[in-house]
Amino acid sequence: MTDYRAVAAQELEVMGAFRSPWLRAAFHAVDRTHFIPPRFWILDTDENGLHQVIDRSSDPDAWLRAVWETHRSVIVQMNDGHTADQGPARGEFSSSVSAMDIVFEKLNQLDLEPHHKVLEVGTGSGCNTAYLCQRVGPRNVTSVEVDPTLAEQAVDNLKRAGYEPETVCGDGLAGWAGSAPYDRIINTASVRHIPTAWRSQCRDGGTVLTPFNTLFARGGLLKLRVLDRVASGRFTGGANYMWIRSQRPANRVTELHEFKCRASPVDPAQVLGRSWAQDFVLGLHVPDMSVDRRDTETGRQAQLWDEAGSSVTVVRYTDWWQPDAVTVWGERDLWADLVTAFTAWRTAGQPHYTRYGLTIDDAGARLWLDSPDQTVSLPNALRPSTLS
C-alpha cells in the first residue's frame, strides 16, 4: 500500500508549506487520521449530482488517499448534521477537515510563537487545533465550536491524539472572554463581518486571521492587526471556506412588481466572471450585493439582488446595448452600482486584491487601497458598517 502521508509530506515541502520550520515537525507529529471519521463525503459528484462517500471499511486505500491529499478537503458533515453519512448525498457542506495546503498557509501567516495564547474559532474535527497545540502547548489554546455534536467528537479526537486544550461549545463570533486576551485569533470558517468580540479579546499588537467572503464572491484571507480595539490589515491570499453559520446569506427577495428597462453601457462579460480575483475585488466595493449567473432559453444573464431583498436587477449578455438589456426592480439599479465599482477599479489600474484592506472599529469597517488612509468610496453610499 502506498505511503500517502509520505507523498503529502514531499508535496507540501516542495510547495513551501513548511516555511515556518515548526510546521514540518507538527505535520509529522499530528496524525491526520485521528481526526477523520470512517466515512466521509468528497467534493466529486456522480451523474445525479450526489457527493460520493468514501468508506474505510470497504476501500481502505481510497480512504487513506483522500485523507492525505494535500489540495482537497474531507467533508464530515452536510446540512448541519441532518444528512446521514450512509451514502451519496446533496446539500450544503457544514463541516470539513480542510485541505492541508490552505491549513498550513494559514498557520504560516499566523506568525505563531511558543508563548502565544490562541483562540481558535471553529474546532471542527480538531485537526487544526492539534497543530496549534503542537506549537504553543494545549494550555495556551482555546477552541470554540458551535455544533454540539462536532464539539464532542473533536474532544474525543484530540484526546485520542494526545491533546487536551480548552474546548468550548458556543458561538465563536462571541469569542471566549474567559481566557482572553489572546495573542492570536484564527478562524476556520468564512465571515463577512468582523465581530466586536474578536477586537476586544485580542491583545494589543495581536493578530486576527480569518477567511472572508462578500455576498458577491467568496474566498479571501484577511490578516488584521489589533491596536486599541481597532483591527486593520490586508487581504493576504485566497481561502475558500464554508460560511460561519450565523453569517450565511439569507438570499431573500421581496416580491417586486414595477420595473424599468434600459441599455447596459458595457458588455457584462467584461464585468462578471473574468476571474475570481476580479469578482472578489468588485464584491468588496458592493458588499451588500449578490449575483447569480445562468444560461436561459434566451441566452446568458446575470441576476443581482441586495441584502435587504428590496432591489433586483437582471442584465442580459446578448445584445447588451439594446434598451431592454437591463431590467431593474426596486429602488436601486444594482447594475449601475456594479458598473460604477468596475469603472473605479479599472481607473485605479486594476489593482490586485492583495492591495486592498479593511480597518474595523466601533463605527464600522472601511475599505482601503494600499494604505488605511486611502479609503475607497463605495457606490450608492453604502454604510461603513456593511463590511463590519
Do 149 and 88 have their domain in common?
A: no
Looking at the domain assignment, is residue 385 inside a domain? Answer: no
CATH code, 174: 3.40.50.150
pLDDT at 111 over 70: yes
Q: Tell how many helices (H) and how many strands (E) occur in the chain.
A: 10, 18
Active site residue 125: no
Q: What is the pLDDT of residues 203-262, one digit of tens each?
A: 999 999 999 999 999 999 999 999 999 999 999 999 989 888 888 777 777 777 789 999
Do 331 and 286 have their domain in common?
A: yes
* Strand residue runs (E) in the chain: 39-45, 51-55, 74-78, 93-97, 118-121, 141-145, 166-169, 182-187, 202-212, 220-227, 230-238, 259-262, 289-296, 299-306, 311-316, 326-330, 356-361, 364-369
Last residue of a domain, one of 30, 65, 99: 99
Do 94 and 129 have their domain in common?
A: no
Do 156 and 278 have their domain in common?
A: no
Minimal CA–CA distance to 129: which of 156, 89, 94? 156
Do 324 and 224 have their domain in common?
A: no
Inter-CA distances, 75 with 38, 55, 212, 301, Å: 12, 12, 20, 32
In the numeric block, which cell numbers belong to residue 109? 501567516
Give the chain's radius of gyration (CA, Å). Answer: 22
Do 93 and 136 have their domain in common?
A: no
Q: What single-letter DSSP state applies at residue 246? A: G
Only one residue has cell 491524539, namely 161
Do 286 and 219 have their domain in common?
A: no
Q: What is the pLDDT of residues 131-151, one digit of tens each?
A: 999 999 999 999 999 999 999
In the numeric block, which cell numbers belong to residue 158? 484530540
pLDDT at 384: 44
d(CA 63, CA 90): 20
Do 198 and 275 have their domain in common?
A: no
Q: Is the dihedral of CA 347, 348, 352, 358 positive or negative?
A: negative
Looking at the domain assignment, is residue 33 inside a domain? Answer: yes
Do 89 and 132 have their domain in common?
A: no
Looking at the domain assignment, is residue 59 inside a domain? Answer: yes
Do 106 and 93 have their domain in common?
A: no
Domain count, the chain: 3
pLDDT at 269: 96
Do 205 and 297 have their domain in common?
A: no
Last residue of a domain, one of 179, 212, 246: 246
Looking at the domain assignment, is residue 90 inside a domain? Answer: yes
Section 273-284 average pLDDT? 94
Which residues form the domain of 44?
4-99
pTM for the complete prediction? 0.93
d(CA 169, CA 149): 9
Residue 199, class by beta-carbon neighbours within 10 Å (0-12 exposed, 13-18 middle, 19+ buried)?
A: buried
Do 94 and 145 have their domain in common?
A: no
Q: Which of 98, 143, 190, 311 is catalytic?
A: 98
Last residue of a domain, one of 71, 99, 127: 99
Looking at the domain assignment, is residue 371 inside a domain? Answer: no
Q: What is the pLDDT of residues 37-69, one digit of tens each?
A: 999 888 877 777 888 888 999 999 999 999 999
